Chain A
């Protein structure tokens, strides 16, 4: 078996783990792809170069989005990996889990529309110095879909780096139209939009590759 490059964590109720793994398989080439790992595991597979916490409804959103998953056995290993500087990407429910586990500041509140929203969004790059915006400059935009019910980020912007903002309207009422943040070191990134759903022109946009490329910097992943 080849060394897993990207580890995608599966919690009960995760929905977008396969899409994330498929994208990383496609863009990193055969034999160097992603591995889906159960929330029950105590450790990350050896050779893990990056971790994805995928979208979905972990534990059916019971209690609070991401709250139960943030206490899953695997999360201690993810925390340790992040503290060592390993790239960790939380998408949608994964972003909620990162906030619940303290790896990123702030909280994700219900959308101000009080409804689930699924639509294409325009993201403006606010901070182009993280690995998650490789090759792009601040002010440039990416077309990436959103699909969530609890996506209004609120928190202390001094405690993180704002990486993405919604352009052309704030769909969920988040603070300063923030769509995604990273920790100060830049290795832990959380965002509500779904870059893994925007990696093929056939599906409407390939801009998501820019963000997914942050998982394996230097691999010329970004389109």
Chain B
């Protein structure tokens, strides 16, 4: 810390009120290490003190839920005696300071959450936001964060199968790096983090403990941001090779039945893991700090307790099993040390040089952080865009190409080709489509995986936008034949204590909850990242949804590319395209329509049924860039064009590029049209064209707009590599 005269508690991120509260709760003044521990555990990152009351609005229960929020990750039953466990988490602030290590350790951290459930990780996804690629800094952050994600995922051997990347100047100072991990575990063998059994031993295994990442949760993740190289030592350092050994070792330990409980060490290190394990189990823990294997001599007790050194896990085992557990770790070339025991009472005690340096009821750290109601100041309702005020492009084909070359829409091949998306040999649908499909190892079942968010919609209308993000995820799942099953989410917001952010947070949560209830997709895990703003800019409300869907048969899926000449092109869903908050407009201005949740759910059911029954040849969600972009993506993916006619008197650019939730582009054989129409029931479904040729030819308003597939591909594929040159 610096030599300034700011009181220690403020340097640590505690408010004066919080600092006064600690002695009241403890009945005495805290020791130095205790104050540091409180500062971390009461940080927003660890305690959710500004979001906890709002998060109660999420539906978290359902017939398949085996584990809801509150554990290392959520879990749902997928049949065959198996559970899928998954969670998404942010590593935004570290990534803005040091993008390679920040993003890499974000991936490492979320993998350990899945390991702590006793599960085998089978897929990773990443949801990323950066400023404009015209900015040098954003290009650097984007390039290095992608490298960091690839480095970690590739080396540890978990396929990175999906995600999204969007660019907007609002993320210039606060990039977002959200990582999601999905694992599989026998449903009757899910591990929990609650410590149990007085006399049981605590085994710390994995990497040694060093001075890296000290204060990451409080210094970096719980304050507004200024670019400050002094914060760099707060970023952790990644070692995916060790985490691979840790991953194999955790599964061996879980298989062996030696574990009473398992927890990863993440934000706030040993402090967080130990206090949560004790508090959940209603027991005390006594840790002998002299036994913690250190990377360097002379670390102070507080440093050992809050170090965020990566690739470490904490297990509870019975005294009889200590030797066997340590031997198993050593067989994986990992250090494992008995560092303490489960005790009676509720105190987290730490001993250093024979002296008790910490003695705190664990729940004060883990559960009793102050909770704040955030101000609810509604933002004014924005006016809808009047299309007549938006100049009509003179050249619609050029406008179409320009939109395909917009970095948020353009091909993300440059990103996903840097990720091993095939390792494990279970990837059925690869990145680049609507959702990835991964076969559950050893079964025929498929998991459809996607991350989505409607952040511009959220800025204009947070409740509608919150719902829209969930519904878009569901459409993406449906387009590969999956039935939406459950979600995780990462709520990335600016400072909730200021302006309309607290209200937007509450509204977005309400909107997401609306959609989740209607879809029957409970929220089983999640993470909150606040303070994503600088003095100049605040991010859009960005509540990222990570959704898991189920395919009974992983082979009963389809791609988004057109397949064969003569196939019929159909548009499902009746939402009306608008320019408001669209990529074509290039901003969050306007007021998108509030989603018709009932209609959207019906659309998803129809599409999932049409795909899984083999009634369609392709399916593609119509999202950013509107129908024109969806048509182009399907044409490029299949290397074949289509002739499409759009009726109605909507202005051509609005019809082509306008956005609305709840539309899906389908193709089927000419013989299949009738059956598909009857399957659709009340879901609006209309024929719009025929697949064929080497161009997209759209008849609209008496004119023809013709774009060659090769020209589309040129615009779409070169945009991001060119921007980075």
Contacts and interface: CB of A to CB of B under 8 A. Distances in A.
A196 B425 contact: yes
B556 to A, nearest CB: 11
A116 B241 contact: no
Contact of B241 (A23, A60, A118, A200): A60
Among B240, B425, B428, chain A packs the most CB atoms within 10 A around the CB of: B425
A13 B241 contact: yes
Given A13-B241, A56-B157, A57-B155, A117 B417 contact: yes
Given A60-B155, A116-B150, A116-B154, A203 B417 contact: no
Contacts of B418: 115-118
Interface stretch (A14-22, A42-50, A154-162): A14-22
Nearest to B150: A116
A147 B157 contact: no
B419 interface: yes
A116 B419 contact: yes
Nearest to B248: A12
A119 interface: yes
Interface string A54-67: 01110111100000
B560 to A, nearest CB: 15
Interface in A184-223: 194, 196-197, 199-200, 202-204
B421 A203 contact: no
A4 to B, nearest CB: 21
Among B240, B333, B423, B428, chain A packs the most CB atoms within 10 A around the CB of: B423
B199 interface: no
A171 B150 CA distance: 18
Nearest to B423: A15
Interface residues of B, number: 29
B205 to A, nearest CB: 16
- Chain A contact residues: over half helix, strand or loop, or mixed? mixed
Contacts of A23: 425
A13 B421 contact: no
Interface string B406-432: 000000000011111111111110100
B482 to A, nearest CB: 16
B245 interface: yes
Contacts of B333: 12
Given A197-B425, A202-B428, A15 B417 contact: no
Given A12-B333, A116-B154, A202-B554, A147 B425 contact: no
A23 B424 CA distance: 11
Contacts of B427: 203
B203 to A, nearest CB: 21
A147 B423 contact: yes
Contacts of B420: 116, 118, 147
B439 interface: yes
A202 B150 contact: no
Nearest to B242: A60
A145 interface: yes
Given A116-B418, A117-B418, A19 B425 contact: yes
A13 B155 CA distance: 8
Contacts of B150: 115-116
A202 B419 CA distance: 20
Nearest to B427: A203
Contact of B423 (A16, A117, A149): A16
B715 interface: no
Contacts of B417: 115-119
A118 B425 contact: no
Contacts of B504: none
B244 interface: yes
B610 to A, nearest CB: 20
Nearest to B413: A119
Nearest to B147: A115
A200 B425 CA distance: 9
Interface in B144-158: 147, 150, 154-155, 157
B240 A60 contact: yes
Nearest to A199: B425
Contacts of A62: 241
Interface in A57-80: 57, 59-62
A203 B244 CA distance: 24
Nearest to A62: B241
A118 B240 contact: no
A145 B428 contact: no
Nearest to A58: B241
Contacts of A57: 154-155, 157, 240-241, 244
A194 B155 contact: no
Nearest to B143: A115
Interface string B230-268: 000000000111101100000000000000000000000
Nearest to B554: A202
30 contacts: A15-B244, A19-B423, A19-B425, A22-B425, A23-B425, A55-B423, A57-B154, A57-B240, A57-B241, A59-B241, A60-B155, A60-B242, A60-B244, A61-B155, A62-B241, A115-B418, A116-B420, A118-B416, A118-B418, A118-B420, A118-B421, A118-B422, A119-B417, A147-B154, A147-B420, A147-B423, A197-B422, A197-B425, A202-B428, A203-B425
7 interchain residue pairs of minimum CB distance: A60-B241, A15-B157, A19-B425, A57-B155, A147-B420, A116-B418, A118-B420
Given A13-B155, A59-B241, 14 more contacts: A12-B244, A12-B333, A16-B423, A16-B425, A57-B157, A60-B155, A115-B417, A145-B422, A147-B420, A147-B422, A196-B425, A202-B439, A202-B554, A202-B555
